[in-house]
Amino acid sequence: MGIQVFLQKLSGLLLLLCALPWAEGEKVLVFPIEGSHWLSMRDVIKELYARGHQTVVLAPEVSVHIKGEDFFTLQTYSVPYTKEEYRHQLLGHLQNFFETEFSLKLVLQNVAGINNISAFYVRSCMGLLYNTALIQHLNSSSFDVVLTDPFFPCGAVLAMYLRVPAVFFLQSMLCELESEATSSPSPFSYVPRLLTMNSDHMSFLERVKNMVYPLPWMYFCHVNYGPMERLASELLQREVSLLEILRHASVWLLRKDFVFSHPRPFMPNMIFIGGINCANRKPLSQVCIQSLFK
């Protein structure tokens, strides 16, 4: 009787295992952004490959850091500028973003730099979205998900057009668009705005300052992202806003942590992965360790 019961349980277990779906790797289309955005995303792609997923990285043929590697397939597309022009624009404005001294002149220089770099990315996006043969190839490849950085939302537009779920991988967006797109509460009386240098405990005048500072940035974002909205509207053949493009995302992977920013409300599909920037970490030197305990 004991052996018979054991065989019955074993056969039931085998039938259950046969009924379960087998784990299969998914097809992931990755649309990265140049620079540190790509260097952080590269570690994620490597992990996806280790877990059996098939990854295709879609990038312009003119780039500085994005190169082909053995753990993903690199698919390039042509763009209407040379590598020298691109390197000049990308590196020419990079130094301004690392200045610590605040001034109106520096803000205007940063705005001009972002506008120039954004113009290059719009031209790059046009080179992709107007490439009929490539778009048809991507559409027929049946990707399961698009992993992209929405700071320049060309990848998000592509995901909408292909009707594929999108996963956003980012640090933050200009004008706090990640909060607006996900309807995350962001009260002016509690959440300090960019460049205000306010804390999360503000006086009345600091709250007024917190409300006034974002106004020029809102105008700047409207002008900066306007070409992408028009491009998306032309591609999808209907009026499309930037917020609608961003709301296509199923999951937001945020490369940040409350250790470096003020606590604030976020939606359930916004996941913090701040430690991913420390994937290639090195041990602290004795000098650093001693300074921590002083």
Q: For residue range 89-141, what is the model confidence (pLDDT) as tens digits? A: 666 655 555 555 555 566 666 666 677 777 778 888 999 999 999 999 999 99
Q: Would 218 be classed as within a structural domain?
A: no
Q: Of the given ranges (52-56, 70-74, 217-221), which has the lowest mean pLDDT?
A: 217-221
Q: Which domain holds residue 168?
A: 34-186+225-292
Q: What is the pLDDT of residue 53?
A: 92
Q: Would 65 be classed as within a structural domain?
A: yes
| Residue 277 DSSP one-character state | G
Q: Would 279 be classed as within a structural domain?
A: yes
Q: Would 237 be classed as within a structural domain?
A: yes
What confidence tens digit (pLDDT) does each residue in 168-212 have? Answer: 999 888 888 998 999 998 888 888 877 777 887 888 888 888 888
Q: Would 29 be classed as within a structural domain?
A: no
The total of structural domains in the chain comes to 1
DSSP assignments along 196-209, one per residue: ----SS--HHHHHH
Q: Would 25 be classed as within a structural domain?
A: no
Mean pLDDT of the chain: 80
Q: Where are the beta strands (DSSP E) in the chain?
A: 27-31, 54-60, 73-77, 145-148, 166-170, 249-254, 270-272
